[in-house]
Amino acid sequence: MQEISVHDGLVRSEEFSTCRMPLRELDQPRPGEAHVWYLDLGSLGLSLQHALGGGADRPGQQCLSLGQLKFARRFYLKLLLGAYLGIPGKSVKINRNKRGKPSLDKSEHQSDLHFSMAKSENRVLIGFSCAAMLGVDLEPVERRAHDPLGLARRYFSAAEARDLELTRPDRLDEAFLRAWACKESVVKASGQGIANQFCRFTVETNPDRPPVILDYEKGDPAQWSLAMVQPDEGFMGAVALHHRRMELYAFTLTPS
């Protein structure tokens, strides 16, 4: 695997390594590393459906139902977890804490492997780390908030709201979406949930600057690393790692 430079804070689609099914055993991330996987469940799910005899190649059958998408998300998450753990995906056991954050069942798996998954339409971004909490978020780049400044004043930190108020109107949607994605990834890493947490830390809102946590109520912001990913033309994501430095490896999983 080749480490991706994130000095400018953004990993672009051409920097993602392509991995094809079937998936082989994977080396777990080392401390300070984050592995992110981008999956198009439209192609992967239909390929799986065809392999299971579902006739995915029949004319007119071009999309997955909500139930099939839910199954595909869980199937490929456990497939990747199994590859990191060296066991079949069906043997992976997952628990959730009281706020809904998923983790490996410690009674079944003696591993410090952490993971986070974000979904948008039929796309999924999954992050993995060891010995450090991480979170990921995925957003369509065309997503627009009805009232970004109003939402920022209500939910973001005062510093973020103030900076967004000073943002050029033609860059406001972009700046708000990036800030939202970064904050989602940090909150998911902490496992605290969104409620009453967005205002407790401040991220860089200027999309021309590298993403970073500027202030963190519960600790030292320098103990966190942030990166943005652009896995394809229509989507962008954020990765947060509770570590002073992030070495990022990015992959796209495709059918065989």
* Segments making up each domain of the chain, as ranges: 10-254
- Pinpoint the alpha helices (H) of the chain: 41-51, 66-85, 148-155, 158-165, 172-190
Q: Classify each residue of 107-119 as buried b or exposed e, where b means 16 or more C-beta atoms within 10 Å of its C-beta.
A: eebeeebbbbbbb
- pTM of this structure: 0.92
Kindly give the confidence (pLDDT) of every residue in the chain, 256 residues in length, as a single tens digit, with 9 standing for 90 and above. Answer: 555 545 467 999 999 999 999 999 999 999 999 999 999 998 897 766 665 555 544 444 457 888 989 999 999 999 999 999 999 999 999 999 877 889 999 999 999 999 999 999 999 999 999 989 999 999 999 999 999 999 999 999 999 999 999 999 999 999 999 999 999 999 999 887 776 789 999 999 999 999 999 999 989 999 999 999 999 999 999 999 999 999 999 999 999 8
Q: To which CATH superfamily is domain 10-254 assigned?
A: 4'-phosphopantetheinyl transferase domain (3.90.470.20)
